[in-house]
Amino acid sequence: MTRILVTGSYGQIGTELVGVLRKKYGGENVLATGRKKPPAILNEDGPYYRLDILDENQLHTMLVDYDIDIIIHNASVLSATGEKNPQLAYRTNVEGTYNVMEAVRILGLEQALVPSSIAAFGPSTPRDNTPNDVITRPTSMYGVTKVFVELFGEYYKLRYDIDFRSLRYPGVISAEALPGGGTTDYAVAIFYEALKEKKYTCFLGPDTRLPMMFMPDCIKSTIDLMEADNEKLKHRTFNVTAFSFTPAELAEEIRKHIPEFEIDYEPDFRQQIADSWPMSLDDSVAREEWGWKPDYDLPAMVEEMLEKLSKKLGLEY
């Protein structure tokens, strides 16, 4: 049975990814790791260990002791936090990825999956239906580190035949763990405020269009790429998306369920980050090479988000 180690496993994506992987691969075969005390759900059906990705020795020990085949390296400092602390983003995202790729090379692991992001693109990238293979000259520190991830991983594939795979995630919307320190976080916060306060002040302007996906699709894309036939992959880094919307359009969709919901706008430093990213992505390369296809559109995502969150928060709408 394949054994998988996940870093950053208490983050927005890791929290849910670990649960789904454990159902599929068996609880004991999926090692959840992170730097902090994990939420209860991570301890439920498999092991959790404290791991600092900058500690090379600890990483190697864990990979050997648990006989790991695949590492999914989710630990990352996101875009907004990266602008506040570029040095921290460098250490975690660049040095962390270096340690992971080196461990995979030295220990001969089967695969490394290290996510990238729409942040890998920049102001000189065409913003509409952004192709997979196009100029990537980001202007955020987060983006700079993600371009490193892509190029470094692809170099290790060329040079050492390491099975490196990467997804450029769009904004991810979810009802379990909160996202932390990103520019697309508004698309999660808006649901909490819509249910609790019936109003929300958005830190991006009304017409800021960004590519997005709902968590079940994010998990599906991750596992589908991880399980894809290595021989069939011509690329190593893939755009994935489900839909694009603006804060005003998301508010309109929420209003179909909560008619009294109000939104106003106070753009902050994150506006500039969002303005340098694509408005929509062309993910046809992922569709062709490993059969990527999202299940959720905007209305289906909004309906399920409100349903799940209202249960979780014990609020009617």
* Residues contributing to the site for ligand SER (CB under 6 A): 78-79, 117-119, 142, 169, 171, 182-184
**Max Cα–Cα distance, the chain, nearest Å:** 58
Q: How far apart are CA 170 and CA 281, in angstroms?
A: 9
Look up residue 239 and give its two tokens. 């755009």
Among the listed residues 284, 286, 294, the one whose alpha carbon sits nearest the alpha carbon of residue 216: 294
Catalytically annotated residues: 142
The minimum distance between CB 241 and ligand SER, in angstroms, equals 12
Where does the chain have alpha helices with state H? Answer: 12-25, 40-43, 56-65, 79-84, 86-89, 96-107, 141-160, 186-196, 215-227, 247-255, 270-275, 284-290, 298-313
**Quick one: 169 or 296, whose CB is closer to ligand SER?**
169
Shortest reach from residue 27's CB to ligand SER, in Å:
28
- Give whichever of 48 and 169 is closer to ligand SER, judged by the CB atom: 169
Name the residue nearer to ligand SER (CB basis): 68 or 144.
144
Closest CA to 308 of 223, 180, 192: 192
Question: Please, what is the minimum distance in Å from the beta carbon of residue 68 to ligand SER?
Answer: 25
Q: Minimal CB distance to ligand SER: which residue?
A: 182
Q: How far is it, in rounded angstroms, from Cα 77 to Cα 83? A: 10
Minimum CB–partner distance for residue 78 and ligand SER (Å): 4
Query: What is the C-alpha to C-alpha distance for residues 170 and 222, in angstroms, rounded to an integer?
Result: 13
What is the distance between the alpha carbons of residues 302 and 308, in angstroms, rounded to a whole number? 10
Q: Output b/e per residue, 39-72; b: 16+ Cβ within 10 A.
A: eeebeeebebeebbbeebebbeebbeebebebbb
Scan for tokens 């209305």, then name that residue. 299
Which residue type, as a one-letter code, is found at position 147? V
**How far is residue 248's CA from residue 262's CA, in Å, rounded to a whole number?**
10
Please, which residue, 103 or 187, has the CB nearer to ligand SER?
A: 187
To ligand SER, the closest distance from the beta carbon of 84 in angstroms equals 12
Cβ of residue 81: shortest distance to ligand SER, in angstroms? 8
Chain centroid offset of residue 163 CA = 20
